[in-house]
Structure 1
């Protein structure tokens, strides 16, 4: 019989139970869990009926294989309700459920027994179709058909993340007997702890699966994990550790916050975690970047998106720039962000070697993919410069990723402020400026330009360095009190632009004077400053040692000028040492002095001199000078202090080839030396005119003297938009300006002060006054 609702169902149940025993059970079936639950609850509250639940008659950790024994209970006199049969038998399969229905229909009993089934309607209808008389033995309750739950077999309760599993098959049956549609909607999958495997339930009506790992449990429990991950992202152990953390913190974002702070700042934590080297924390951080994505570093976002495990991320950080074309509008951003990331991370030599081995596919453009992150990249960068041709603009664009090299290549302007020359030779300042700009360019390109070589040959005969003041003329005038002298062996004037820039960065004022050393340019001839500062010299040998005795950098083995980076590091370290001394008031000023410079181009030129002079193979100074009793009259060589000294890029025959750089000769880079006085930059920079009034006398040109408490390199004055170059008076803090256009008195005049192209002060006041009253007319 079919019933449209539970009320009708109970009318049938009451009629069956109140009548005389029929000798058969009344089967009540519903396809709906809520209906089943409501019927069972109502029958359980009926004190006249003895309710038998299959789950209560099963052993704790066994399958329900005692069904026949349970059915025997309801065959006795009395009124019984039996529930849970169909749930238990459905674990066996459809055939078992069909057999159960047949057995119940044929079961003889003495009293009354109501058997509640669920999801057995199709089997009951088959029985009715075979024998219409069976219809009187059943009640089919109409209702929406509930879907069957899925059953997951787990070995231990800890495998279940975010919820508590059923502890045994017995507890599973009990749960199924009380299931409702609402409960099913919230938990469509039921986990049960059991030692049984999936094969035992191979024919089950339910969908039964074994536990597939902690990852699947995480996915089911936490939407964050489900939306942004794959199981392959972690090992079983990693997922299990995460599961334990999430049990405590309840969400993945909370786990990240507990481990690293705010989850939106994970990018900043990455370099530190690589430094610490904890593989689980690195994995957790990478997983966070995967799930929440990277919003503050587009290059890292690219590397994270390409990585399929935390172990791959570092490689992608190193390598993924190689997949970005130089024409990509985001290339510069990717490059800068990659550099910051790798610079903060521990050096990975394997990734670096691989990157440098593959970057060559871009040929000459490979230089734009390299940065000053490792010695390997520096060497590859310089190898490209040695291999391909570049315009000057291309070179300067490429070296932008190498800040120290970029500062080194900046031109240093020789001016009246730093290079004293006879007036008739003043044009040499511009010549020297161009010479060293070209010298530095050739040094990093590892080649000698023909036009530069011609200039060197020309200078080898003209010997323009003789026009310079000797270094001793500056040293002898240095104040000794509260002064620390730093002797940088082999420091040439090629580094002056770099030194100026670093001094400005470190808050120091640099007063530079350029002179010449004694010929030949060897240390033994150039130590007169020891007499002026006998006890206050801090000697730095690192530059000279690098040029002559490096065990790592040797031109015969490594042609690229990679030593240049180490030279700049040595100089920078010395400047920071000086800065520390000035800040701590160990002295008021520091003076950097050099004995001589050095030439890289004389090394890479690799030509021997054709003169008859031949050196012993153990001779020093790499063939740049040779002891001679008399002047050998070689046009391209000087003769000084008993030495024939080459002024071109050749070397005398015999002797050892230079390792890195060479000195002893008379090229400008070997002979010109700096004397640099360093002081702390004043807290405030002051400018004023002394006096602030120009007194016009007769036909004399108006002259104005500017005082600056810091030395200026290229002082200029703009008055009424007219530029005027200054001339230093006595020291580098007083500058005289000639203003021939000022011929009449004027009270309120103003000037703008520049150092080169940099404006230092605006509208500095002065006035003009003529002694003759009748001419006191404003301009």
Structure 2
């Protein structure tokens, strides 16, 4: 029966009491009206039965059998509440319980049991359809339907969850709440959540079993599945939620950043907890854009944190064709992530894939980030040779190695050519006979005597020593200058430098080459020399570059305490003197052979006139070529003591954060040069400072500059394949600036005839 108003309902109930209908269900769709009806029924009934009284403990469901027995025993008007809240979350029992109550069998006794129900209209209507006889027991008060009602049921151990609604813990308290003056929405926390997991209701009842369920409801996340994390992961994430309504919001707060930043997050990876690593992985799955990381995350088998994104970042590159139009971008992105993750060892799966590729193809996939990769690059060069293609690949794969190999332009072209060849042979671990002949030729001439001594150059640079620090790197030869210049320009912006080259005392041993330090207090960096004596190819070469970077960084850091830092060395060292199959000479009786035959001590005899390339210096007899004195044993790395250019030439490098001189302005006078047949190119430029001598460096070749009436000029070589050139202008090893010029070759118009 339907009633439009509460007064109509009341009138019917009062009259019906006289007709002795013993059971009366009254349904309303408005919570406020339910409270009103409950209050009115409380007034007219002599007895109230509360479901909460039938709960043995706070989190135990009511004993329905005991409740029905109590109803059966009643002989006065009785109110039963809140039955609808039991039926709502036990809807599979609805028909059974309604039938048992209606058929209690009071046999027309004048007893009335009133049961107000909330939002049960559809359930009750279906119940009447099954048995029309029950129509007289069920009353419908037509009211507006609540559209904001909801009930959320979740585990009580998730007590930190901040969900909107009135929060109640335990089913008994839940019924007690309804027995008083309830409000909506309601959040019910229970200990036995699995008891409610199969609830199917159309009446806005949501059961959240796990922390993931709560997150999905709380954050409306549809892009992820529960299998992407463990229950511990989801629970911890839920603990961190607070008022955040998005996963991005809570992740940003966890890592203290405004938004997703893959490089920043992977830089923190090594110091993260397991939960934080999982959070980085999940956030990346949700936020990372197109690119290498996205591919690594989407690779088959990377659906969970346990599948290890770290390994995928390492290995995926091997599955991408280096001819792919986006490969360079993928390669560079991966290299950045290797650095961020501080990966020191690559997986065996990566190396298995690398070993399947041809040697030169490997360089497309290797980087300079791990020592093993850099050694593999060197082994590839050893087996394949230092071709132009490999040099090109090194620009990306190992720019430090390429910078070392690149020629350093000395004032003398002989030195530029010599060290260019020396470094290539050192890297490929070979010595060719033509170079050995050149070493022998230079040894006979004592070519280093053309330069100033290291001691003189150092004294000139050191001056009075005010505010100057000496940074002495044991065994730092001039072979590293192109690398040092590269590192200064790439990583130490704002540091000015001047480079001079001088010769050390011979034999090139530390005991005879620390005289210039007397009375001065240097910082000594000995790791490079120690490595050279015991290193194995190719590992020691990789370590050499690492030590050069380390030493240079330490020297530059000292500029925060000193106005100037001078880097210099006692001597250099030679790899080729170790691996060259040179002639071994027997020292004379009484001579003491030192440094694996690089020199001997003999006060009674001379050798210079008898052995080509041997230099007599007091009691020392030193080889300036790759020959040596006979001696048992060998070494694995490098040697010094002799007088080859790589052993005897050392740099004097001045570092400062202030320009050594005032800045200069260089203006090119001949930006375009039209070159006719038989003519030399002449490049002219003006400079606003007075210098006694200048050099121009073009394509790794140095040219003396001459002075004209009002400008400087030099005559560079012309490459038929190149039109545009860049020239560096230098003074005493210091870069002053650069100019650009263009050369037009051949006849360009009829006017040129």
Distance 2:488 2:193 in 1: 77
In structure 2, do the counterparts of structure 1 residues 575 and 92 end up closer, same or farther at CA, with 3 Å as the change threshold? closer
Give the match for residue 366 of structure 1.
362
In structure 2, do the counterparts of structure 1 residues 115 and 259 end up closer, same or farther at CA, with 3 Å as the change threshold? closer
- Pairs within 5 Å for 1:493-642: 493-501=478-486, 505=492, 507=494, 510-517=497-504, 520-523=507-510, 530=516, 534-536=518-520, 538=522, 540=524, 542=526, 545-550=529-534, 553-555=535-537, 561-569=541-549, 571-573=551-553, 575-576=555-556, 579-580=559-560, 582-583=562-563, 593-605=568-580, 607=581, 609=583, 619-626=593-600, 629-631=605-607, 637-641=613-617
1:408 matched to 2:404? The reply is yes
Per the TM alignment, residue 52 of structure 1 is displaced from its structure 2 partner at its CA by: 4.6
Distance 2:385 2:614 in 1: 35
1:34 matched to 2:36? The reply is no
Higher Cα Rg, which structure = 1
1:74-116: CA deviations, max 9, x gaps?
A: 644x6x6656556646567267336416614775422455556
Distance 1:735 1:523 in 2: 48
Per the TM alignment, residue 591 of structure 1 is displaced from its structure 2 partner at its CA by: 5.5
In structure 2, do the counterparts of structure 1 residues 354 and 608 end up closer, same or farther at CA, with 3 Å as the change threshold? farther
Give the match for residue 681 of structure 1.
659
- Check conservation: 1:386, 1:560, Cα contact below 8 A: no
Give the match for residue 447 of structure 2.
465
In structure 2, do the counterparts of structure 1 residues 726 and 179 end up closer, same or farther at CA, with 3 Å as the change threshold? same
Per the TM alignment, residue 755 of structure 1 is displaced from its structure 2 partner at its CA by: 0.9
Distance 2:280 2:525 in 1: 46
Work out which of the residue numbers 237, 242, 246 in structure 1 matches 2:241.
246
SS in 2 for 1:405: helix
- Check conservation: 1:153, 1:198, Cα contact below 8 A: no
Work out which of the residue numbers 213, 216, 220 in structure 1 matches 2:217.
220
1:732-751: CA deviations, max 9, x gaps?
A: xx9984799xxxxxxxxxxx
Per the TM alignment, residue 620 of structure 1 is displaced from its structure 2 partner at its CA by: 2.7
SS in 2 for 1:569: helix
Which range is displaced more, 150-159 or 230-239? 150-159
Work out which of the residue numbers 359, 378, 385 in structure 2 matches 1:382.
378
In structure 2, do the counterparts of structure 1 residues 145 and 308 end up closer, same or farther at CA, with 3 Å as the change threshold? same
Give the match for residue 442 of structure 1.
425
Distance 1:373 1:200 in 2: 52
- Check conservation: 1:688, 1:708, Cα contact below 8 A: no
Work out which of the residue numbers 628, 634, 638 in structure 2 matches 1:657.
634
Distance 2:448 2:157 in 1: 92
Which range is displaced more, 373-382 or 490-499? 373-382
Distance 1:500 1:627 in 2: 38
In structure 2, do the counterparts of structure 1 residues 753 and 17 end up closer, same or farther at CA, with 3 Å as the change threshold? closer
In structure 2, do the counterparts of structure 1 residues 29 and 390 end up closer, same or farther at CA, with 3 Å as the change threshold? farther
Q: How many residues align structurally? A: 682
1:96 matched to 2:85? The reply is no
Distance 1:245 1:639 in 2: 76
In structure 2, do the counterparts of structure 1 residues 683 and 596 end up closer, same or farther at CA, with 3 Å as the change threshold? closer
Per the TM alignment, residue 355 of structure 1 is displaced from its structure 2 partner at its CA by: 5.6
Distance 2:369 2:738 in 1: 39
- Check conservation: 1:214, 1:243, Cα contact below 8 A: yes
- Check conservation: 1:166, 1:191, Cα contact below 8 A: yes
Tell me the TM-score normalised to structure 1 length: 0.69
- Check conservation: 2:404, 2:483, Cα contact below 8 A: yes
Tell me the C-alpha RMSD between the 2 structures.
5.4
- Check conservation: 2:585, 2:628, Cα contact below 8 A: no
In structure 2, do the counterparts of structure 1 residues 140 and 658 end up closer, same or farther at CA, with 3 Å as the change threshold? same
- Pairs within 5 Å for 1:10-29: 14-15=11-12, 17-18=14-15, 21-25=18-22, 27-28=24-25
1:102-151: CA deviations, max 9, x gaps?
A: 614775422455556742444444444xxxx7666666899999999988
- Check conservation: 2:152, 2:208, Cα contact below 8 A: no
Gaps of 5+ in 2: 668-683, 716-725, 741-753
Which range is displaced more, 276-285 or 664-673? 276-285
In structure 2, do the counterparts of structure 1 residues 624 and 207 end up closer, same or farther at CA, with 3 Å as the change threshold? same
SS in 1 for 2:522: strand
Give the match for residue 775 of structure 1.
none
1:169 matched to 2:171? The reply is yes
Give the match for residue 646 of structure 2.
669
1:566-619: CA deviations, max 9, x gaps?
A: 452365156426745652xxxxx66655444321123234x3526566999994
Distance 2:339 2:494 in 1: 25
Which range is displaced more, 85-94 or 433-442? 85-94
Give the match for residue 64 of structure 1.
63
SS in 2 for 1:158: coil
1:154 matched to 2:155? The reply is yes
SS in 2 for 1:561: helix
Distance 1:234 1:617 in 2: 75
Gaps of 5+ in 1: 416-428, 584-588, 690-702, 718-722, 741-751, 764-779
1:176-231: CA deviations, max 9, x gaps?
A: 89999x96xx77xx7452558629999999999986322222222222xx235443
Tell me the TM-score normalised to structure 2 length: 0.71
Per the TM alignment, residue 6 of structure 1 is displaced from its structure 2 partner at its CA by: 2.9
SS in 2 for 1:442: helix
Distance 1:686 1:591 in 2: 23
- Check conservation: 1:517, 1:595, Cα contact below 8 A: yes
Per the TM alignment, residue 661 of structure 1 is displaced from its structure 2 partner at its CA by: 0.9
Work out which of the residue numbers 304, 307, 330 in structure 2 matches 1:308.
304
1:244-268: CA deviations, max 9, x gaps?
A: 3324556655544544434315446
Per the TM alignment, residue 622 of structure 1 is displaced from its structure 2 partner at its CA by: 2.1
Distance 1:662 1:683 in 2: 39
Distance 2:590 2:110 in 1: 129
